Amino acid sequence: MSIFLLKRLLTLIATLLGASAVVFAVLEILPGNAAQMLMGPDAAPEAVQAMAEQLGLNQPAWTRYWQWLAGLLQGDMGTSYAYGSPVSGLVWERLAVTVPLAVLAMAITTALALAAGVFAASRHRRWGDVGVMGLAQIGIAIPNFWFAILLILLFSVKLQWFSAGGFPGWSEADGGGFWPALQALLLPSIALAVVQAAILARITRSAVLDVLREDFVRTARAKGLSRGAALWRHVLRNAMIPVLTVMGLQFANLLAGTIVVENVFYLPGLGRLIFQSIANRDLIVVRNCVLLLAAMVVIVNFVVDLLYAAIDPRIQASDI
């Protein structure tokens, strides 16, 4: 296990270093000038140059890259050009919305997809299977921002059960609290989960059908195990390798792809911060946020690899 874990950790570190170089290089070659954006289009060239020196933009790119990495290792993300405050504070404040939103959406996705996938596989080529797969096909075709608007029209405008947007905060001192905050994230998480659940349900169905044809399933049934018990206790566990792969990708996608839904529901999450920072040419915020999202994707894949080894020890043994 130690060799397997060491290899995965080295891969994680190398991937993060490569991602940091790519993110920095791409943002460097983009047109535009942060100092000019801050000073305005009519600012004197001398004032723009002074602002660039104040922000450190006059230094060579490789110097700024190593300074950025050194700051990250010390927990310092720098200071936002537009907000004038530490980037770390801005990021952690927005993560308090984005991460719970992604976790809630993933929980809904997993519950719906596993139930639908196992149900469809257990009724292969019958009406239950056809109906569930038909709904899954519709779910895949629905854009999440359009579905988000439908949810607002139904539950916020017509029924008035939920707020149409905004986030009250997790603290009761700020007028929010756990339940009001969770309620504000429910509709956005459903909007995000619909497409993901439809995709995962189809993957789960295919994986379960493949395992159902194995000899050990017939043996378990011959020993008197009920069909439901065989499905949930034996078949699903052995079908989880491809399902976990898709779940890992989906959770990473939920973390990195909430920009549109956050803007529809006016949520102060990380995606909205990136959107605003791009408009303000606040590249230091964009750089740190994009690298953080990349790190989340890599870490999720690392966790999925560990889950592979826990579910199927043969994977760990073949990697040594």
Predicted TM-score (pTM) of the model is 0.77
pLDDT digit string, tens, across residues 112-157: 998 888 888 888 878 888 888 888 888 888 888 888 888 889 888 8
CA pseudo-torsion sign 23, 25, 30, 34: positive
pLDDT digit string, tens, across residues 236-264: 777 777 787 788 878 877 877 677 888 88
The CATH superfamily assigned to 87-318 is MetI-like (1.10.3720.10)
Cα 301 from Cα 2, distance rounded (Å): 18
91 to 94, 100, 166, 227, 290: CA distances (angstroms): 5, 14, 18, 48, 11
Checking if the pLDDT of 266 tops 60, the result is yes
- What sections of 30-86 are H helices per DSSP? 34-39, 45-55, 61-73
Checking if the pLDDT of 54 tops 70, the result is no
Cα 34 from Cα 178, distance rounded (Å): 38
The residue ranges of every structural domain in the chain are: 87-318
